[in-house]
Structure 1
């Protein structure tokens, strides 16, 4: 009967071989990663660029706001040649770094390439919102509105930031509590109504004449309306300069 010979590997030798294999694999992966620009590098470059752009935009526009930058995840399988120069970045769209943006990240080295990184810059500002339900055609008073923080990058209809822009105006659509009031929801309230008794002023550098009149139509501040001169009976056009006061040019 033939004898079967069994070989035993020395445990220390086996451990050394495993360690050597792991080291070689690690070096191989390190060398492989060094030959490519990693997606994390693109994300870091984009974030740093947008931070600078947003800061400059807020300072130049004299806007008080806080911001958050949201970057979309890039495909981890993305393989771009390692760049032997610093990466360059520029805003591809839109013109201002607010809302949904696209940043072009480029390598201008020996192996040039470009990639587009999508992002969203959230800009939070204090804007005018309704404090209570507002009905169409009502004139806005202080108790009707308040300031609240909103992400203005999502307010496609615009927004207002000052009470002076809203108070005394007429709301053209109904609004619910906490609803943002965009400029399209407002119009100048009429301060002169048809049938009102008004004072007509006619003046130039040397003459200032005042006479009684009657408004023949409604109008807001600065609007031109038809007015009847009660002394002459003539109908003229005059500009509203205040409650019960219109002015004609001479």
Structure 2
């Protein structure tokens, strides 16, 4: 039976489409062997940590058994997982069946952090001579360890610190912006008005802390400390 040129073209187009569909399915098929899942998870973690300062290395333990065949894999980190250090990475299958494996991982990031050059007492104002940069695995330290010396000069220690100790931001208070006994500008804000006057600070305060001020008339008010020896009373 003979075919018209149009039928021949449609038949050829259908065969090409079927071939493309088969190739598309093959291209999206994923290897679900333990080694493949390990590699997939490691690649995901490296992408997640891209841009972090330092030398990065990632290791993931493969699963003990081989899951069912999978056409589409997706790696993820469970909520609350650490970005570096000891952590967990998940790999889930999206099709044709659904399953999830959780793999222990170790993310090492060798980089610089701030440490003390000497033992420091509580309420000590940090200077450049108190601080130095050290290099180590940031994954072994807490996430709030400082990495910029200049950024914390002038901060105060909350408690005493040992020499060579990593400097955590949680152990520091921001610099004083209001000093006890100094003339302080008082700003009183209300609906539709703002009044400024002068008083004397009755205590030291960092930015954002509440502090009491004695006004020129002898009244004591309290407000929030701001830069430039200023206290805002709401």
TM-score of the aligned structures, taking structure 2 as reference length: 0.65
Matched, 1:241 2:226: yes
Matches within 5 A, 1:94-109: 95=81, 97-105=83-91
* Distance in 2 between residues matched to 1:207 and 1:109, nearest whole Å: 63
Equivalent residue in structure 2 for 1:70, among 56, 59, 71: 59
Q: What residue ranges of structure 1 are gaps of 5+ in the alignment?
A: 1-38
Structure 1 residue 222 displacement after superposition: 3.5
Residue 137 of structure 1 aligns to a residue in which SS? coil
Distance in 2 of aligned mates of 1:81 and 1:192:
63
Structure 1 residue 66, shift from structure 2 partner: 2.4
1:131–1:208 CA distance, 2 compared to 1 (3 A): same
CA contact (8 A) 1:67 1:123 kept: yes
SS for the counterpart of 1:175 is coil
Please say if residues 45 and 87 of structure 1, whose CA atoms lie closer than 8 Å, have aligned partners that are also in contact. no
Task: Using the TM superposition, give the Cα deviation of residue 44 of structure 1 relative to its aligned residue in structure 2, in angstroms.
Answer: 4.8
The aligned runs of 1:81-96 (5 Å cut-off) are 83=69, 88-91=73-76, 93=78, 95=81
Per the TM alignment, residue 227 of structure 1 is displaced from its structure 2 partner at its CA by 1.4
1:107-147 Cα shifts (integer Å, max 9, x gaps): 78889876543221122332221122222221111111122
Native 8 Å contact 2:92 2:100 kept in 1:
yes
Mark the structure with the bigger radius of gyration: 1
CA gap of 1:44–1:97, structure 2 versus 1, over 3 A, is farther
Q: List alignment gaps of at least 5 residues for structure 2.
A: 1-31
Mark the CA change 1:160 to 1:43 in structure 2 (over 3 Å): closer, same or farther: farther
What count of residue pairs does the alignment treat as equivalent? 201
Give the drift of 1:233: 2.2
Cα distance, 1:168 vs structure 2 = 1.1
Provide the C-alpha distance between the structure 2 equivalents of 1:124 and 1:107, rounded to a whole number of angstroms: 33
